[in-house]
């Protein structure tokens, strides 16, 4: 029976977790991007091949591109969006020429993944990523000072945010702001002023408009991807709910099915992220995987644990609210009929053991992900040996 392919996210030569380290984890493939290239600019064939050669010099392979970031003018369909699409297509062509096949991307406005605490302490002393609605409201209402921000939250959250804001020191407020705007490791950080300016571009963009802009973008690039043999994998919104007044359009099965049905080209698929989808209590992840089937082009495996208010922290990979056994079983069924080996990576992980003494990329320290990958590899082997 065919296994899912074990990969590891690497943020390039400046990543504290080196390619030599990754060789020891059990991963065989690398998931990475040219993070130094400004968003929207062309990835040259020469730079792609240089990065690929570096990875292969360690006996690993570059399996998945995560991600070719989409310029904000494409998302808003304003300004020079058509020229940005042409540049995106040029990058796709160069990636295909270099032998890359799976391209992950997201269509989240302004912010990428969003958390409010990067070192939430677990009972065992390890540290996890955490999302708390009250702290987000503190940032939104009192730091960002978005117009009518309080209307986006329930009255009890607004009241608690007022209490917390009064109690927080300036240092604590600065820390919350830095966490909410943290973004992708290795990429340029934005300021509160930057975020205000970026948010203003979405003043007249609701979910329907954003969805239409995504469909237009996919209509422009999927014929080329079909021709080149590329597989696109859209990453779900993280968290899968509207935040900071911004619409989210990749939250659940209905959203993904709309995207696939609107642009049915064979290259159009999904990155099945159990962490992002799992943060929504209404999502049935095993059923979602079964329904999406061959449209699953890449997989992120992580687990979250929610509370009654919708706050969540990153739990152990086999813990949390998601039944990872049931999800893995459905994904392995998909793999048996897939023409290519589908890559998965252990997404996020606790900062633990020696990594607690090191400077690490939040969510991407070595030992926590190593534990997650070991557990997931064992789960996969057990399912395959016992039969699907």
Q: Which residues are catalytic?
A: 235, 273, 300, 347-348, 364
What CA dihedral angle connects 49, 297, 18 and 116, to 10 degrees? 130
Contact status, residue 9 vs residue 25, Cβ threshold 8 Å? no
Per-residue CA distances from 320 to 281, 300, 314, 325, 380 (Å): 12, 15, 8, 12, 18
SS3 145: coil
Which two structure tokens, joined as six digits, stand for 122?
A: 């677990």
Task: Report the run of H or E that residue 190 belongs to, with start and end.
Answer: none
Determine the Cα–Cα distance for residues 370 and 316; give it in Å rounded to an integer: 12
| DSSP tag of 318 | T
Task: Report the run of H or E that residue 117 belongs to, with start and end.
Answer: strand 117-121
Which two structure tokens, joined as six digits, stand for 335?
A: 């793999």
Question: Which residues are CB-contacts of 255 (< 8 A; sequence separation ≥ 6)?
Answer: 236, 249
Task: Tell how strand 268-273 and strand 61-66 pair up.
Answer: unpaired
Per-residue CA distances from 1 to 49, 50, 196, 379, 387 (Å): 33, 35, 51, 14, 9
How many other CB atoms sit within 10 Å of the CB of residue 359?
7
Contact status, residue 103 vs residue 142, Cβ threshold 8 Å? no
Which two structure tokens, joined as six digits, stand for 258?
A: 């709309």
Listed in order, strand segments (DSSP E) in 200-307 are: 231-234, 268-273, 296-301, 303-306
Determine the Cα–Cα distance for residues 224 and 226; give it in Å rounded to an integer: 5
Question: Which residues are CB-contacts of 76 (< 8 A; sequence separation ≥ 6)?
Answer: 109, 201, 202, 205, 213
SS3 313: strand
């Amino acid at each position: 029976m065919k296994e899912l392919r074990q990969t590891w996210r690497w943020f390039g030569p400046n990543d504290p977790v080196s390619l030599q380290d990754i060789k020891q984890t059990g991963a065989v493939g690398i998931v990475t991007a040219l993070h130094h290239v400004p968003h929207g600019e062309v990835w040259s064939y020469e730079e792609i091949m240089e990065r690929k050669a570096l990875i292969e010099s360690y006996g690993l392979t570059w399996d998945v591109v995560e991600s070719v970031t989409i310029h904000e003018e494409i998302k808003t369909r304003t300004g020079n969006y058509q020229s940005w699409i042409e540049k995106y297509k040029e990058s796709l062509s160069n990636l295909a020429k270099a032998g890359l096949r799976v391209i992950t991307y997201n269509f989240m406005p302004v912010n990428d993944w969003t958390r409010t605490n990067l070192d939430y302490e677990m009972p065992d002393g390890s540290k996890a990523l955490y999302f708390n609605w009250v702290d987000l409201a503190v940032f939104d209402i009192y730091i960002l000072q978005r117009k009518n921000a309080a209307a986006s939250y329930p009255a009890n959250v607004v009241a608690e945010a007022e209490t917390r804001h009064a109690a927080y020191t300036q240092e604590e407020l600065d820390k919350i702001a830095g966490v909410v705007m943290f973004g992708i490791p290795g990429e340029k950080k934005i300021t509160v002023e930057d975020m205000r300016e970026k948010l203003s571009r979405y003043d007249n963009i609701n979910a329907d408009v954003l969805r239409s802009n995504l469909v237009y973008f996919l209509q422009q690039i999927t014929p080329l991807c079909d021709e080149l043999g590329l597989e696109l994998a859209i990453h779900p919104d993280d968290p899968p709910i509207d935040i900071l007044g911004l619409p989210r359009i990749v939250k659940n099965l209905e959203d993904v099915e709309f995207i696939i049905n609107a642009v049915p080209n064979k290259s159009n698929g999904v990155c099945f992220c159990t962490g992002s989808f799992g943060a929504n209590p209404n999502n049935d992840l095993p059923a979602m995987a079964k329904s999406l089937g061959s449209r699953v082009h890449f997989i992120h495996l992580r687990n979250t644990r929610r509370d009654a208010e919708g706050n969540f922290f990153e739990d152990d990979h086999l813990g949390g609210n998601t039944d990872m056994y049931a999800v893995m079983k459905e994904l392995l069924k998909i793999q048996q009929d897939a023409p290519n080996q589908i890559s998965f990576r252990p997404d996020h992980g606790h900062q633990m053991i020696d990594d607690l003494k090191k400077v690490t990329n939040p969510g991407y320290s070595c030992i926590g992900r190593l534990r997650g990958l070991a557990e997931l590899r064992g789960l996969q082997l057990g399912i395959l040996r016992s039969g699907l």
